[in-house]
Amino acid sequence: MTGSGPLEAGNSSNMKVRLACPECDLLHENQKIKTGHSSYCRRCGAILFRGQKDSLDRTLAYACTGLVFFLLANISPILVFKMRGNLSANQLVDGALAFLSSGYWPLGILVLFASVIAPLMVLCFLVSILLPLKYHRLPIFPEWQIRTLLALRPWAMAEIFVIGIMVAFVKLRDFADVGIGGSLVGIICMVSAMVLAFLSLDHRELWKRLEELKK
């Protein structure tokens, strides 16, 4: 399977190799890097990992904040639509429900999953993984939780949902009176907390802590 010829540098046994680049497969030593700096693949430039101070604690704090704002995002309307003295408003899950009841159920499921279920699950998984770790306990099914979390991440599209709300707002403003409801602020805060949670999550640290606890 492999071609002939010498390897570029030494051989794998006498080099402390810990990491393969996820995008080009090049092996890297697990060098120590300064906190706040990222490490990049020297061949293709992919991010290998981010060095973070108190990564897990910060991620946990952001995830808890995100959960609180998620709840706040559900109590008031997102937008309010006014026309000739009539009012109508929408809440977080209403878009998905409207798709479901209008016969476009695959779109209903997609929107429900991408804008509500996946962001909520991502935040819950982060808390249920990191909270026990903080108190030196093993989370339940940690491997499964982490794998599900990583697989869900691209489908949690709350940040894109926010842009969708803004486009809808601009489109309607041409045509009628539209007001912004309190939930929009909640959703924007929830999205920011979720993005920050992922930015501060250092996967190496996460696995290191888990493996220490398993010993």
Partner 1 sequence: MKVRALTAKNAGLIACESCHKLIDKGHSKTNEPICPRCNASVSQRKKDSLNRTWALLVSALVLYIPANLFPIMTLISFGKESKETILSGIHQLFVSGQWVIAIVVLFASVFVPIFKIIALSFLVISIHVGMSWQPVLRTRLYRFVEWIGRWSMIDIFMISVLIALVKLKELATVEAGPGAMAFAAVVILTMFASKAFDPRLIWDRLEGEDNGQ
Q: Which of residues 178-207 bind partner 1 (CB under 8 A)?
A: 203, 207
Q: How far is the CB of 26 from Zn ion (least distance, A)?
A: 5
Considering the complex, what minimum distance in angstroms separates the CB of residue 120 from partner 1?
A: 16
**Least Å from the CB of residue 149 to Zn ion:** 13
Angle subtended at Cα 195 by Cα 46 and Cα 140, rounded to the nearest 5 degrees: 95
- The region, left, alpha or beta by phi > 0 then psi within -120 to 50, assigned to residue 10 is left
- Judged by CB under 8 A, the residue of 62, 69, 70, 81 near partner 1 is 81
Is 215 a binder of partner 1 (CB under 8 A)? Answer: no
Nearest approach, Cβ of 24 to Zn ion (angstroms)? 3
Based on the shown chain and the rule CB under 8 A, indicate whether residue 96 belongs to the binding site for partner 1.
yes
Cα gap 107→115, rounded to integer Å: 12
| Residues whose CB is less than 8 angstroms from the CB of residue 103 and which lie 6 or more positions away in sequence, other chains included | none
| Residues in 46-65 that interact with partner 1 by CB under 8 A | 46
Q: H or E segment at 81?
A: strand 79-83
For 192-203, the DSSP string reads: HHHHHHHHH--H
Q: Are 46 and 24 in contact (CB under 8 A)?
A: yes
d(CA 123, CA 153): 10
Q: Which of 32, 106, 135, 215 binds partner 1 (CB under 8 A)?
A: 106
Binding residue (CB under 5 A) for Zn ion from 28, 39, 41, 60:
41
Chain positions 133 to 162 lying near partner 1, rule: CB under 8 A, are 143-144, 146-147, 150-151, 154, 157, 160-161
Min dist. Cβ of residue 22 to Zn ion (A) = 8
- DSSP run (H or E) holding 119: helix 118-134
* Count of Cβ atoms closer than 10 Å to residue 142 Cβ: 19
Per-residue x/- track, 44-73, Zn ion (CB under 5 A): x-x---------------------------
**Chain contacts with Zn ion (rule: CB under 5 A):** 21, 23-24, 26, 41, 43-44, 46
